[in-house]
């Protein structure tokens, strides 16, 4: 396969149709298509939810407001809507971590599903091979995590594990952006058995983490593809949105029909957020497809900083939890650093073909 490489300025100077952005005419059609999808979802929401759906939209307005921002972030970045919903639910609204996780999976099935449709419709460049080698193991991971791992993890560790996850992602972003002018691959430059196994392991671990906090598949695969494989963030971001959609829908259905722990309260939150997420997530995907790579990085770092600070300020951290979280962060940071130092996938080491 051809192995493309270019500097950041060159990538950002490409025509819109070649640089993860959509020509204005196609973007207009995508907006019209997304509104059509939203209209269908709204009709279904009213038909099946009826007065109860309208009631929850009014009563649970804080949830709906949260998902305005959560869905924009989920549709356009590698963090997922749960990156906004989970911390706000558990820290500000004092919702149990289990319910916050279930809600994140449920609402992302709508929001990120709609964003995925927009990404595919716009033909935004993505690394499609990751669907099989990270997405399918992610589905297995979220199932195993929901059944065997999540029930054994205390809620306080679930809260802090999310902070550790996104903080390690910040470490990854800082490591890979130490220099302003760096080379990026526009696709995985080598795709042999080793690379396939790395994606499988990253997807499996991401699925397990998603079973704990409602998001994680996207963040872990993002770190591996950006730090190790040196794929450009503008390619990896929509790729991870699609991957998170692949994981979140089976996770949601698992909790709804098999585990049956989708409580009436969470159902109400979900009804309140559905009409918001189906519009905001595709809009987030479109907005971020127009942003420069460094702008996306700065947005992610800002969101992660808010998450880290809010955990320190709002969440009581007993010494055992603090030490375990610190040790986990050090381990994750060390893995990130090791990936950032790998030379095998540097664009300058990949012969052009």
Beta strands of the chain (E only): which ranges?
5-7, 183-185
- In this prediction, residue 1 carries a pLDDT of 40
Closest CA to 157 of 204, 109, 101, 92: 101
Q: Would you kindly state where each structural domain of the chain is located, as residue ranges? A: 23-349
Q: What is the mean pLDDT of each run of 10 residues along the chain (353 residues)?
A: 40 36 64 84 91 93 88 72 76 87 90 83 87 96 95 86 83 73 84 96 96 90 91 88 93 94 92 91 77 75 83 85 91 89 85 64
First to last CA, the chain: 8
The widest CA-to-CA distance across the chain, in whole angstroms, is: 62
Sign of CA dihedral 254, 111, 220, 92: negative
CA dist., res. 235 & res. 255, Å (int) = 31
CA dist., res. 207 & res. 215, Å (int) = 8
- In this prediction, residue 306 carries a pLDDT of 82
**Which residues is 185 bridged to in the sheet?**
5, 231
| Token pair of 313 as six digits | 């300020």
**What separation in angstroms does the CA of 65 have from each of 28, 71, 318, 346?**
26, 10, 32, 42
Q: DSSP assignment of 258-312, as one string? A: II----HHHHHHHHHHHHHHHHHHHHHHHHHHTS-HHHHHHHHHHHHHHHHHHHH
Q: What pTM, to 2 d.p., does this model score?
A: 0.84
Q: 352: which DSSP letter? A: P
Please, are residues 207 and 247 in contact by the beta-carbon 8 Å criterion? yes
């Amino acid at each position: 396969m051809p192995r493309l490489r270019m500097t950041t300025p060159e990538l950002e100077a490409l025509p819109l149709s070649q640089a993860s952005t959509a020509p204005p005419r196609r973007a207009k059609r995508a907006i019209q298509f997304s509104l059509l999808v939203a209209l269908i979802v709204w009709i279904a929401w009213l038909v099946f939810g009826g007065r109860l759906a309208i009631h929850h939209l009014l009563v649970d307005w804080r949830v709906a407001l949260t998902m305005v921002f959560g869905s924009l972030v989920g549709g356009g970045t590698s963090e997922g809507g749960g990156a906004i919903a989970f911390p706000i639910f558990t820290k500000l609204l004092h919702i149990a971590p289990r319910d916050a996780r279930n809600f994140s999976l449920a609402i992302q099935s709508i929001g990120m599903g709609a964003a995925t449709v927009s990404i595919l419709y716009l033909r935004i460049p993505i690394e499609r091979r990751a669907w099989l080698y990270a997405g399918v193991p992610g589905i297995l991971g979220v199932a195993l995590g929901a059944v065997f791992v999540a029930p054994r993890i205390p809620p306080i560790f679930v809260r802090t594990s999310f902070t550790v996850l996104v903080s390690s992602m910040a470490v990854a972003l800082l490591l890979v952006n130490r220099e302003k002018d760096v080379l990026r691959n526009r696709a995985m430059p080598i795709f042999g058995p080793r690379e396939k196994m790395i994606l499988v392991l990253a997807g499996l671990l991401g699925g397990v983490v998603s079973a704990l906090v409602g998001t994680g598949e996207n963040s872990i695969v993002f770190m591996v593809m950006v730090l190790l494989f040196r794929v450009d963030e503008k390619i990896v971001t929509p790729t991870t949105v699609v991957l998170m959609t692949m994981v979140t829908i089976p996770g949601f259905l698992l909790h709804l029909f098999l585990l049956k722990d989708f409580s009436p309260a969470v159902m109400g939150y979900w009804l309140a957020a559905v009409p918001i997420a189906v519009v905001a997530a595709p809009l987030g995907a479109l907005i971020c497809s127009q942003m420069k790579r460094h702008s996306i990085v700065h947005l992610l770092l800002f969101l992660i900083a808010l998450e880290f600070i809010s955990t320190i300020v709002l969440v009581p951290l007993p010494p055992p939890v603090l030490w375990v979280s610190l040790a986990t962060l050090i381990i994750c940071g060390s893995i990130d650093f090791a990936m950032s130092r790998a030379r095998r996938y540097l664009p300058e080491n990949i012969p052009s073909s």
